[in-house]
Chain A
Amino acid sequence: MLRQVRLPIALRSLASLVAGGILLTGAGLSPARAASVNLTLVAYSTPAPAYARIIPAFQKTKAGAGVTFTQSYGASSSQAAAVANGLHADVVNLSLEPDVATLVQRHLVASNWYKNKYHGFVTDSTVVFVVRKGNPKHIHTWNDILKNGIGVITPNPFTSGSARWNIMAAYGAQIAQHKTKAQGVAYLRKLFNHVKVQNDSASLAMQTFLTGEGNVLLSYEDEAVQAQQKGSPISYVVPPQSILIENPVAVTKEAASPKTANAFVSYLYSRPAQEIFAQMGYWSVIPRVAREFTYPHPKTQFTIRQLGAWPKVQKQFFDPRTGIMAAIERKSGVQP
């Protein structure tokens, strides 16, 4: 049984002094924030370098003066799941529509988020083969990446948007070559036998590729362009058949200042921001800006709508229990 221990008076006074000091500091640190607005941007992993330039440009405009930003970048579905689970977001820029649909389902984004001139898409791109500088393995077509010994890097389709674009590009390329659906799925199965490591997101996959792992990385054209601009020893090949990538942006219903959030999204669609996106390898959604840049397009370009549109494709291919990809992973894992 412990005796009652009394703190000596000196110690008690010191404790109150410290506590008081902390309270005062806390009060002093909470600024009168009525004047400045903070926008939280939650985005997929790839556009971080683009926003590093676009946000300061926005802050120099009248609508953006005094606006501070909190930014979060990560794998597209993981980010959508985080927002659905309570991460605060004012603006979301995700890799593909199904991730925004997740938020619409949870009533975090309005169901008419896409009703504007650009159907809600702020940037476009395509899936390309990223290879070592000089393309030593001569990878040019979807059949080339199935050759013996070719290691393929593509992220985890259940967390990464890029991974799903890659898979639908590979599948769609088979369909575009007049193969049957079953042959398309067989192609995917053969492709995944070449995948040795599965990263969470597109940028992590690029990092893994840059450490020397694998011979070809399937990724966004803009991810490849940004890596090249940083001086990485890579080049990229646009496959003869590939998919049109469209990345959505939306304002959430929980935006504290919808006016500012909408102003930011309008800025993203405006010429200055679209030029920055285009300089960093994206295809601008403004035709005039897109024409100024000569990023190679695939000879045969198809859209996700030609493959059934995302809601159906998401269920058919990417359902974690019954989807085609879950079945493929099950079969691949059994082989050594």
Chain B
Amino acid sequence: MQGVVMGYLSLLVLIPLAAVLVHAAGAGFNAFLSAIMAPDAIAAVELTAVCSFVVAAINALAGTLIAWVLVRDFFPGKGIVNAIIDLPFALPTIVAGLTLLELYGPNSPLHLNLAYTRVGIVLALLFVTLPFVVRSVQPVLLEADRAVEEAAASLGASSWQTFRRIILPGILPAIISGSGLSFARAMGEFGSVVLISGNIPYLTEVASVHIYGQVESSDMLGAASLSIVLLLISLVTLLLIAALERRFLRHAR
């Protein structure tokens, strides 16, 4: 059984990753270094990282609020709202991109024109990463012991104190892991961003679009090298989330 699982993981994940690594390393370390130090590559990774960080931060707040409302409040249509939170997962990302272009582009019914700007990129990324923090925090809130909150209230704690001292420590690990996942997803997002971002190098070109451009112009070494950089960033993010989760989980207990 373990053999089958390892075989499946290898085929799907490890071998393709190894292939990219071999390709990137194939031309030697200097070639790899000059590929990743190219100024347009650095600009693309910087832009992607900043946008992803902003998106993760916004999600941490908005996602928690949404999860709170879905768990603690009752209103007509709550079931539908709960179901459509998962829509960004189900929608093909290119369809999401097209929808966002129609909504925020030159023909916008809202009379906004945010297409081909950095704000447009952040909006697209917010759309596709919406479910991460919400779905992370919801189960924790559902399981939270209300009795402790009620005890705090009866002892004279204000709502804010109750939230900060009792509820927040419980959901913090979930918020962290959800934000970390939305950061990682935003770093690699392509379909929803490629239509609305404008793809001007140094201005609105994100890392995934830059890599795609390199593949299209047959710069395979550049593409593989930059892919390794993105992979490393994702790996570091995942390790960091795991470490932070452990730390806050200890505090919660």
Interface, chain A (partner B; CB < 8 A) = 2, 75, 77-78, 81, 84-85, 156, 158-159, 195-200, 211-213, 320-321, 326, 329-330, 332-334
Contacts and interface: CB of A to CB of B under 8 A. Distances in A.
B115 A213 contact: yes
B116 interface: yes
B240 to A, nearest CB: 30
B181 interface: no
B116 A81 contact: no
B179 to A, nearest CB: 29
B202 A333 contact: yes
A198 B198 contact: yes
A333 B116 contact: no
A197 B199 contact: yes
Contact of B202 (A77, A159, A332): A332
B105 A320 contact: no
A78 B216 CA distance: 5
A85 B218 contact: yes
Contacts of B200: 195-198, 329, 332-333
Given A195-B200, A196-B200, A213-B115, A159 B107 contact: no
Interface in B47-74: none
Interface stretch (B12-20, B22-30, B37-45, B184-192): B37-45
Interface in B99-150: 101, 105-107, 115-116
B106 A213 contact: yes
A198 B210 CA distance: 12
A333 B203 contact: yes
The 10 tightest CB contacts between A and B, nearest first, are A333-B202, A212-B106, A197-B198, A197-B116, A78-B216, A81-B218, A329-B201, A196-B116, A158-B217, A333-B203
Contact of A196 (B101, B107, B198): B198
Contacts of A84: 218
Contact of B1 (A2, A195, A199): A2
B213 A156 contact: yes
A196 to B, nearest CB: 5
Given A195-B200, A211-B107, A159 B38 contact: no
Contacts of A333: 40, 43, 200-203
A289 B204 CA distance: 45
B213 A329 contact: no
A77 B115 CA distance: 26
Contacts of B218: 81, 84-85
Contacts of B199: 156, 197-199
Interface in B1-17: 1
A211 B213 contact: no
B104 to A, nearest CB: 12
A148 B190 CA distance: 33
A81 B107 contact: no
Contacts of A85: 218
